[in-house]
Amino acid sequence: MTNPQWTRRHALHAMAAASALASLPLRAQDNAAASSDGASAAPRDAKEIRIGQSVHLTGPLAPFILPVVKGQNLAIDELNRKGGLQGRPVRLITLDDAYDPKKCVENVNTLIDKEKVVALYGLASTANVAAVLPILSEKKIPLVGVYTGSPVLRTKQHPYFFTTMASYRDEVVQMIRNLVTLQKSQIGLVYQNAPFGQLMKPVVEEVAKELGATLVALVPLEANGSDAVAAAQSLAAAKPQAIMFMAFGPSIIPFVKAARAYVGVPIYCVSISNSPALLKAMGEDARGLAFTQLVPYPYRQTTAVTRDLSAVMSRAGIEVGYDYMFGYVSMRILLEAMRRAGKQVTPANIVKGMESMAKYDMGGYPVSYGPNKHHGSTFVEITIVGPGGRWIR
C-alpha cells in the first residue's frame, strides 16, 4: 500500500504537482470538493452554520491542498450525519485564492460580509495569513487552523488567531533533540537559498545552542538543486554526524543523491520538504530519510482519532494518509470549539470555546488553549521512509 503524504506548507515545482494530480481523489474544478454539505442527518430546513476558507484550489500547488480539503470535509460530514450542532448543519465554504494574498483578502471579506461565516479556517501561506490578521481584529472573527508553521505568525498573540498544529520551530526542536539523544550532535545544516531557508537558519542556530548541539556547517542550497554536489562536498569537508535539510521542492532529489555519495550520514528533513511525488522520483535514494510529521501516524488504528479517521475514510472509499488526517484533525478542533459555543454559535462564543480547551484530546492528538495561549499543539513525530516508500515510525 502506498502511503501518500501532503504537508501544509509546500511550494513544489509544477512537475511534481502534475505527477501527483492524476492520483488525487479530488479535483480543483469540482465545486463539491470545496464545500461540505455531505450526506447529513441534520434537518435540511434548519439554518446552517457557516465556516469560511480561502485556499489555493487551482494552480501548481493545488494537488497538495486538495486531499487536506477532503479531510476537512469528512470531519464536517461526520458531524452532520450525527445531527450537526444544536440540530443545525455545518457548512464549509471554500474559495480559491490561487495562493495570492490579495485574492485571499478579497475572499475573506466576501466570506465575512456576504456569506456571514462565524469563523475562518485553514488559510495557507505565511503571506496570506499575515494579510488577513488585521481583518480579524477589525471584524472580530476568529481564524482557527492555518497551513503554515511560520514562527513569525506566533511571536505575538492575536486575540482572534488560533493554530492547531506545531510550528516549524517545534519541528526543529524534535529533530535536534532526537539527534542529541542518538549522540549525533555534530550537525550539518542545509538551508534553501530563499526566504524559507533564511527564516529557518536562525531558528536552527538558536535551538542547536539551547539543546547542546553544534552546527559544524551551514550550507545554502539553490531552490532548483543546481549546486547540490557542491553543497554535499562542503558538508563532507565538515564531517557532520547528521544533516538537517531545511528546504522544499525539487532540490531534495539531487541533494539526497549527492549527500549519499559524498557524506553518508542520516538526513533529517522538515515536514515541508515531504511530497509523495518527490519521494517517488527519488526511488531508493529516499529510503532511510527522516521526516517530521505533525499529526498522528494514520496507518494503524491504535488510537481513537486514527480509528475515527479510518471509519470516515472507509465510508468515503478512500485510503487513509497523512494528508487527510491533517485536514480532519484540524477541522475537528474548530468543530469542538463551536460545540462549546452553545446555542449561540457566534464568533465571540467560538473564541470562548477555543480558550476553554485547556486540556482537550480527541484520542491521540492532545491540544491545550487558554485566554493567553492560542497555539495549542507542539505534537511532532519523526518517521522514516522505508521500503517501497512506506512510512515507518
Question: What domains are there in the chain, each with its CATH number?
Answer: 14-166+300-367 (3.40.50.2300), 169-293 (3.40.50.2300)
Chain-centre distance for alpha carbon 1: 23
Gap between the terminal Cα atoms of the chain: 16
The angle that helices 195-211 and 168-181 make with each other, rounded to 10 degrees, is 40
In angstroms, the CA 231 to CA 146 distance is: 33
Residue 76, all three cell numbers: 464536517
Sheet with 214-221, strands from edge to edge, namely 214-221, 186-192, 242-246, 267-269, 290-293, 381-385, 391-392
Global pTM reads 0.84
Single out the residue of 367, 319, 362, 374 nearest to residue 79, CA to CA: 362
pLDDT in tens, the chain (393 residues): 334 333 344 443 333 333 333 333 333 333 334 444 433 455 554 699 999 999 999 987 787 788 899 999 999 999 999 999 999 999 999 999 999 999 999 999 999 999 999 999 999 988 999 999 999 999 999 999 999 899 999 999 999 999 999 999 999 999 999 999 999 999 999 999 998 899 999 999 999 999 999 999 999 999 999 999 999 999 999 999 999 999 988 899 999 999 999 999 999 999 988 877 788 899 999 999 999 999 999 999 999 999 999 999 999 999 998 889 999 999 999 999 999 999 999 999 999 999 999 999 999 999 999 999 999 999 999 999 999 888 998
